[in-house]
Amino acid sequence: MASFLCYCGSGKAFISCCDPLICGVAFAQTPEQLMRSRYSAYCHHDKNPQCYDYILQTYHSKVRPEHSQSDIADFAKAVRFIRLKILDDASLTTNQVHFVATYLVGDKLEVLDEVSDFELEQGHWMYCSGVLIKHPSMKLSRNDVCPCGSGVKFKKCQHPLQACN
Ligand SMILES: [Zn+2]
Ligand SMILES: [Zn+2]
């Protein structure tokens, strides 16, 4: 597989960033790493169906029953994540991550702005839940420059990976 920059925006190659976590050969050392890998799993799902199970299994067991692989797959297939930003708020605890993920649903640009809570379970970081900060969705017209950063018009954009940072 060709080496490409990780979806999560770390600047590292996917194969040495989030991929080993998704494949279960390494574990997240911090809540932020887990959050990044779950984001990357949503981006990479069409190339590795293991991504759905990874997202499910990295929910804390106390909330996992509220989720299912099919719900996760439906969401992953309906959206196109284009950017992740991790915010370093002074108010966060060591169990929290504030992130802003931008994604497309059809011709709408949505922003998922969330302060997430994580907990250790049997020595591994798990995602529990998050508090959302609401943003209005933005409708894109076909001639707008795509918000993914490619510089290409929305109607023609393929959202190249290297533009996803
Ligand atoms: Zn990554
Ligand atoms: Zn694009």
CA 123 – CA 34 distance, rounded (Å): 13
From the CA of 107, the nearest ligand is: 2
Model confidence at 160, pLDDT cuts 50, 70, 90, reads confident
Residues, Cβ < 5 Å to ion ligand 1 = 6, 8, 10, 17-18, 36, 40
The alpha carbon of 124 and the centre of ligand 2 are apart by a number of angstroms equal to 35
Q: Is 125 helix (H, G, I), strand (E, B) or coil?
A: strand
The alpha carbon of 4 and the centre of ligand 1 are apart by a number of angstroms equal to 11
Domains along the chain with CATH numbers: 14-140 (3.10.450.50)
DSSP-assigned beta bridge partners for residue 130: 116
Phi, psi of 117 (to 5 degrees): -110, 135
Instruction: Please compute the mean of the pLDDT values over residues 106-125 and round it to a whole number.
Output: 96
The alpha carbon of 11 and the centre of ligand 2 are apart by a number of angstroms equal to 19
* 31 in Cβ contact with 125 (< 8 Å): yes
From the CA of 159, the nearest ligand is: 2
How far is CA 163 from each of CA 15, 38, 138, 152, rounded to the nearest angstrom?
18, 19, 20, 10
The alpha carbon of 72 and the centre of ligand 2 are apart by a number of angstroms equal to 23
pLDDT digits (tens, 9 = 90+) for 52-85: 999 999 999 999 999 999 999 999 999 999 999 9
Q: Using the 8-state DSSP alphabet, how is residue 90 labeled?
A: T
User: What pLDDT, on the 0 to 100 scale, is given for residue 2?
Assistant: 61
The alpha carbon of 3 and the centre of ligand 1 are apart by a number of angstroms equal to 13
- The residue type of 27 is F
What pTM was computed for the model? 0.92
Look up tokens 């497309």; give the residue: 104
